[in-house]
A and B are shown apart, each in its own frame.
Chain A
Amino acid sequence: MAAYEIEIILNRQLADCLSIPVFITDIEGNLIFYNEPAETVLGKRFEETGEMPVGEWSTIFKPLDEEGKPMPPGELPLVKTLNDEYPHHKKFFIESLKGETQHISVTSYPIISRAGKFIGAVAIFWKQKAK
């Protein structure tokens, strides 16, 4: 079993130090790490779930646009980054399994290794302040 490249490992170590939710995926979109603050978004603990295939984690919360309509996956920043290997940012709503709706903003960026290879992606979530 090969170890992850150090750019991925260092992203995890950084995420471990942050108080904002951070998700790290491989290039297939499989969730390979999420930090403690992200556990409140997913409602699951990383120690319990371990890595999650894209088909599993993407169904845990439902993204909604400003009008409350379901957003197509291709509109999500992380999915865009996985598709085009560029950073993206978007504000939208998510509905958790408990039915709670949160207004969030998400920034995603690609992890491009020192060798110039696309090796994964990171998404950072912020809760929008209520106006």
Chain B
Amino acid sequence: MKIKLWGVRGSIATTGPDTEIYGGNTSCVTVTHDDYVLVLDGGTGIRQLSGSNYPMHKRIDVLLTHLHLDHIQGLGFFSPLFDSSKEVHIWGPASTSQTLFSRLSRYLSPPLFPVLLRDLPCKLHLHEIGNSQFETGPFRIQSNYIIHPGPTVGYRIMNERAVFAFIPDHEPALGEKGIIKENKWISGFDVAEGADVLLHDSQYTPEEYLNKRGWGHSTINDACLFGSMTSVKRILLSHHDPSHSDAFLEDMLSSFKKGAGNIPSAALAKEQMEIDLS
């Protein structure tokens, strides 16, 4: 299993000299096994997977954690959707009221976008999931609803050698006492438990979080506590706040590590980063 990060910025794409190290594209990650590709989230990073830059097989699976704009904005610029020879499967969390087609169509339709979802030339298959298990190609996948505004899932991607947990937007500490330190009371526990690599939301400093409770994101402290509680081997801190420069992110991590106790190996997620779990 090989993992590559194409977008790790949260909320809105952020380009400029201050973000050139960690990158400004929003959420998108690929997981590959031989030549089979899973695309996780359709943020602006997905645009880099288009055309001859990233040849894809006939079947492509795109797994959306949720439908906030920073996770779907790149879909309109993902070339396989416009290629009639491609079979694109989009997996996304079910809602209680509207279909995945209906909710995706709110973005992929005028006035927000010129092309209607139903007019895309590819062979499009939409799959609504929740607390689900399914298989595609060489991958076994588990999805679970997690704490974030609106229907949102985390994904546990497994092949015979490795486990990758993908939870880019998550607020497990929502509540009076933060993360409850009992495994079965932790949102997302089953997704992350024992993973070789966990990519997790760490958008805020503890000070910033005080004014942003309930927005659906984590502090770097809570992300690492979550990683420690779930016994992951390595955590990639992601969903960088658009106001955080490269220097700020590095200061944030080094300040945290100075005061932290026993935490899993933690690193800042960086655009173009590759991890080989073969």
Binding between chains A and B: yes
**CB-CB nearest in chain B for A116:** B96
The answer to whether A16 and B175 have CB atoms under 8 Å apart is yes
The answer to whether A115 and B131 have CB atoms under 8 Å apart is yes
- In the complex, what residues of A have CB within 8 A of residue B186's CB? 3, 9
Tally chain A residues at the interface, Cβ within 8 Å.
Answer: 16
The answer to whether B176 and A9 have CB atoms under 8 Å apart is no
Q: Tell me the minimal C-beta distance from B178 to chain A in angstroms.
A: 9
B146 an interface residue at 8 Å Cβ cutoff?
yes
Binary per-residue interface labels of chain B (164-193) against chain A in the complex, 1 for a CB within 8 Å, 0 otherwise: 000000000011110010011111111000
A114 an interface residue at 8 Å Cβ cutoff?
yes
From A2, A4, A9, A114, name the one whose CB has the most chain B CB atoms within 10 angstroms: A9
Footprint of B on A, CB under 8 Å? 1-6, 9-10, 12-14, 16-17, 114-116
Q: Tell me the minimal C-beta distance from A77 to chain B in angstroms.
A: 25
Q: Which of B144-175 contact A (CB under 8 A)?
A: 144-147, 151, 174-175
**CB-CB nearest in chain B for A17:** B176
How far does the alpha carbon of A117 sit from the alpha carbon of B175 in the complex, in Å? 24
Tell me whether chain B's interface is mostly helix, strand or loop, or mixed.
Answer: loop
B225 an interface residue at 8 Å Cβ cutoff?
no
The answer to whether B177 and A114 have CB atoms under 8 Å apart is no
How far does the alpha carbon of A91 sit from the alpha carbon of B100 in the complex, in Å? 43
B198 an interface residue at 8 Å Cβ cutoff?
no
How far does the alpha carbon of A13 sit from the alpha carbon of B214 in the complex, in Å? 12
The answer to whether B176 and A4 have CB atoms under 8 Å apart is no
- In the complex, what residues of A have CB within 8 A of residue B151's CB? 114
The answer to whether B145 and A16 have CB atoms under 8 Å apart is no
The answer to whether A5 and B145 have CB atoms under 8 Å apart is yes
Q: Tell me the minimal C-beta distance from B189 to chain A in angstroms.
A: 4
B269 an interface residue at 8 Å Cβ cutoff?
no
The answer to whether B145 and A3 have CB atoms under 8 Å apart is no
How far does the alpha carbon of A6 sit from the alpha carbon of B183 in the complex, in Å? 13
Q: Tell me the minimal C-beta distance from A28 to chain B in angstroms.
A: 15
